[in-house]
Amino acid sequence: MKFSLVTLTTLCASALAAPTAKKSLKIDFQKQLADSGTTSQDPNQLGGAQGKVPHEVELTNHVVYYLAEVALGTPPQKFQIDIDTGSSDLWVKADGSPGAYSRNSSSTWSHYADNFYIAYGDQTSASGDWATETLGFADAQIPKFIFGEATSATSQPVFGIGYSGIEASIHQPNAFTYDNFPIRLAKEGFVNTPAYSLYLNDFAAKTGSVLFGAVDKSKIDGSLTILPTIKDQTTDSKPKEFLVTLNSIDINVNGTTTNALDKTRHVLLDSGTSLTYLPPQTTRTIAQKFQLLQVSGGWGLTKKQVDALPDTATLDYNLQGAHVGVKVKDLFTLGKNYLNQQLYIEYNGVREPFYQILIADGGDRGPGNDEPVELAKFIFGDSFLRSAYVVYDIGADKIAVSQAKFGSGSAEDLADIQIEDKGGIPAATAASDPVWTQNAPIETSVNYNPQIYRLST
């Protein structure tokens, strides 16, 4: 979906391996922060390049890309593309710029359809035509793969691996659907079923992985809990997005627990988003607990304040009985604006670097402010997903979640994901808590209204 704050560029350190006796394909990626000029924010609204500025300077809302290396064409042309569980289409730039895809350099290109267009939650977009090509990963190749050939784009190219029900092709003249990447992998026999595991690793780590067709039990802390994915509309025949049930959120500090949410909500697990968007009362409860400083577009602390936070402070997310703890200190990142300039705050008479917390107020009507209050969904981006091991089983309309295990150094322990009637997700048990049906009102209010600070460059 791409509601992101930092642009973590995940370069595919090793391409997808060819299928072996175990039916799985893996992408290992590295991380890179966003460069300036990668978002569509109006630069006229930002601070100047030199020194302090007299007017309000806003935080950027795009933090991390996860880029995998793919190859298109014959001979292969290689690209590094943002992996996104919140969208479903693969597209590359084909605008004649350096490094762009060139149909004239490939013997396997074919026009498929006109009017490729996709827009994302961060207001970026891409447009052009639909084409087919040979899609390659090392020795693995998928012929006649449908992708977007973008002649105009304001975004990093995207590798959408979500449900086919949100393909961009559905929303254009002469609409059509097609088998996107997870489905093609299964149909070509590289995996048993359209499913994959996502392991983003901790914030300081340089690598993470997407494992198609299998679970790596060495990266799971505890056990996997299976959650049913939820239909976006009751009239839908099946789910279209990775929506699951959130039952509660607790703040744990030095043995003391403070509840921040006790009403069930449904949330979208989206690697293309950096922030975690929460109900207003929940966000303000967290802000009050850690005495966060309020600025235009978000919350945060000075570096000294972040360093003073207890190492054991966590946010505990309960998803139908599956508990994922997120270390509070890991939620802070150096604040920057849309020109990639470091931001400062004047606090107690001292000008200090500002550190933004990667949670945000999702509003009563969702982050887009366009949903009924009782149906508004919230988005859990990579600031949550880094702490979780998540299995996306598109074929069975299920997601399995556990706490992620970091830095164990253990050898991989892979187990194939099977089709549902042959076992489904291995080493996983069904959730025990109820599934979300609609948003009940949050009756408590939080009396925390600190002054709003101005940031400067």
Could you count the other beta carbons within 10 Å of the beta carbon of residue 202? 13
- Which runs of consecutive H residues, i.e. helices, occur in 271-381? 280-289, 303-308
Give the active site residue among 84, 361, 382, 393: 84
C-alpha 79: how far from chain center: 20
The token pair at 396 is 């069975």
- Are 168 and 180 in contact, with CB atoms under 8 Å apart? no
List beta partners, residue 141.
Answer: 136
Helix (H, G, I), strand (E, B) or coil at 218: helix
Nearest to 83, CA basis, from 137, 151, 36: 137
**Number of helices (H) and strands (E), helices first, in the chain?**
4, 35
Side chain identity, residue 185: L
Closest CA to 337 of 62, 64, 122: 62
Active-site option among 82, 122, 232, 270:
270
Query: What is the four-CA torsion angle of 437, 230, 199, 76, rounded to 10 degrees?
Result: -160
270 is an active site residue: yes
Q: Which residues are catalytic?
A: 84, 270
